[in-house]
Structure 1
Amino acid sequence: MPELPEVEALKDFLDEHLVGQEIVRVLPVAISVLKTYDPPVTAMESRTVTAVGRHGKFLDVDADGLHLVAHLARAGWLHWKDQLPSGAPRPGKGPLALRLALATGAGFDLTEAGTQKRLAVYVVTDPAQVPGVARLGPDPLAEDFDVSRFAALLSGERRQLKGALRDQSLIAGIGNAYSDEILHAAKMSPFKLAADLTEDETRGLYAALRDTLTQAVERSRGVAAGRLKAEKKSGLRVHGRTGEACPVCGDTIREVSFSDSSLQYCPTCQTGGKTLADRRMSRLLR
């Protein structure tokens, strides 16, 4: 799933390639992709792109005050093409969900792999009209997101850190991968309760959060859209690396599985050598 660093890089890429260009066609190909109908998606056509923004993990293409807002979900991606194929794409069972074409002949496709279709596109006059954007928490890389604000968000949170960091209404833009990376950098168990953090632990977690996301954004900056997935994977230290050696201590990276996802962690760095129970197996054995 694209998270804050990748969406930030896509925003920068589109800002360079879209701003000042006229949109000539926006064509939804998958029935499920378009979540709004008024104004119609065709209202984006014949408008000039004036800005590209990011709200958490949402991309926002502003064309003369009308916004095409997209959330790529777990298996979605954006593919830029300097020259789009001629002719209209045919609706079908393939991954193509939506195509946006410019007057220059360039444009991009939004695609989604797999059978669970969660990629979502909205056409609105204000991004806050998108429910997911309206309920977003603060952006963790915003200048005013300081350690005191972070501490206030976690205060009273009787949830495990893993879940708290992934909650978009608490903090925007962090998903499964970077929550693992942040907790590994902070040397904290994903199951530690947010409300139990000491002042020093809160400062340490805040520093890990800012450093991890900032470094990921810097790695992604200037990378072409088609290479961002590979760049993200190459920069991850624990997420998706079950069975490999921890780059810090050399211990074996472990995994805890859930119904539709999993987390990775290092026992030596994060849990005092303790192996965390696999929640999926725990439920089966009840």
Structure 2
Amino acid sequence: MPELPEVEALKDFLTEHLVGHEIVRVLPVAISVLKTYDPPLTAVEGHEVTAVRRYGKFLDLETDRGPHLITHLARAGWLQWRDRLPDGPPKPGKGPLALRVALETGEGFDLTEAGTQKRLAVYLVPDPGLVPGIARLGPDPLAEDFDEDRLAELLGGERRQLKGALRDQSLIAGVGNAYSDEILHAARMSPFKPAGRLTPEETSALYRALRTTLTEAVARSRGLAAGRLKAEKKSGLRVHGRTGEPCPVCGDTIREVSFSDSSLQYCPTCQTGGKLLADRRMSRLLK
């Protein structure tokens, strides 16, 4: 799933390639991708893109005198830039193509989604705040005013475990499954640690890990073409998706906890005092 660093890099890439150009066609291929119907997609055609913005994991294409074309790539969605779009409209089918945006230059991009669960979302709205997912977003962790005190305030009343709290978009915007694993590893904290019980020292460590992990990931992704961002994300991860490999810090074996539709990875030595976390469904620690 694209998270804050990848979406930030896509924002920079699209700013360079879209701003100042006219959208001539928006062609939906999978009707399920459309989450709004008024105004219709044709309302954005003929308008120039004036800015590209990011809200958490949402991408916003702002146009002159027109609505905002907003995308959330969800778990398996992606944006594929094309220097030259194919001739003719795309054909509906069972393939991954969900929507195509064409510019007056002949360039454009496709939104694609792999798998059978279709969660990729496209909205056309007069204001980004009308998108429910944007309206309920928490603060951006890379914003200048997001300081240690703000993090302490957000976590102070939490009864959830850190892993779940970090992934909650209404609490902190933009962090997902992969980077929450990376942040907790950098902070040397268990994903099951209660979020509301951190000491001031632990809050400070978590804040540093949060900012450093995301800032470094953004820096690695910045300037890359859209097609290279997935590979860059994977190569930069230290624990997420690396079950069975040695921890790059201590050499212990990276372990996994599986959920119904996802998993987390962690290092026992770095994060849990050597204890192995039981499967979440068992709700206990292995002794």
Report the TM-score range of the alignment, normalised by the length of the smaller protein: over 0.9
Partner of 1:242: 243
AA aligned to 1:129 is L
Shift of 1:279: 2.2
Task: Tell me what 1:36 maps to.
Answer: 36
TM superposition shift of 1:156: 1.4
Question: Which whole-Å deviations, capped at 9, do the CAs of 1:6-64 have from their partners, x for residues lacking one?
Answer: 00000000000000000000011001000001111110100000000000000000111
CA deviations 1:223-274 (Å, max 9, x no partner) are 1000000000000000000000000000000000000000000000000000
CA RMSD of aligned residues (A): 1.0
Percent of aligned pairs sharing the same letter? 82
Counterpart of 2:134 in structure 1 is 133
Letter in 1 for 2:5: P
- Structure 2: which amino acid aligns with 1:36? T
Q: Deviations over 1:46-86 (max 9, x none)?
A: 00000000000000001114100000000000000010000
SS of residue paired to 2:133: helix
TM-score by length of 1: 0.98
Asked whether 1:94 is paired with 2:90, we answer: no
Structure 1 consecutive aligned stretches of length 4 or more whose deviation exceeds 6 Å: none
Normalised to the residue count of structure 2, the TM-score between the two structures is 0.97
Aligned match of 2:280: 279
Matches within 5 A, 1:173-212: 173-212=174-213
Residue 231 of structure 2 aligns with which residue?
230
Q: How does 1:119-130 map to 2 (within 5 A)?
A: 119-130=120-131
In structure 2, the gaps of 5 or more residues are none
Aligned residue in 2 for 1:110:
111
How much has 1:191 moved relative to structure 2? 0.1
- Paired with 2:31 and 2:144, the residues of 1 have a C-alpha distance of 39
Q: Secondary structure at the match of 1:231?
A: helix
Structure 2: distance between partners of 1:224 and 1:255: 31
| Aligned-partner residue type, residue 86 of structure 1 | D
Pairwise mapping of residues 134-173 of structure 1 onto structure 2 (< 5 A)?
A: 134-173=135-174
Which residue of structure 2 aligns with residue 220 of structure 1?
A: 221
- Once the two structures are superposed, residues 164-201 of structure 1 have per-residue CA deviations (whole angstroms, 9 ceiling, x without a partner) of 00000000000000000000000000000011100010
5+ residue gaps, structure 1: none
Please give the alpha-carbon distance, in whole angstroms, between the structure 2 residues aligned to 1:28 and 1:167: 30
CA distance in 2 between partners of 1:62 and 1:37 (Å): 18
Letter in 2 for 1:153: L
User: 1:246 is aligned with what amino acid?
Assistant: C
For residue 6 of structure 2, what is the aligned residue in structure 1? 6
Residue in 2 aligned with 1:23? 23
Within 2, Cα distance between the matches of 1:66 and 1:50?
A: 11
Give the secondary structure class of the aligned counterpart of 1:48.
strand
* Separation in structure 2 between the aligned mates of residue 43 and residue 280 of structure 1, nearest angstrom: 48
Q: Which amino acid aligns with 2:87?
A: S
Output the CA distance in 2 between the equivalents of 1:27 and 1:246: 45
**C-alpha displacement of 1:278:** 1.1
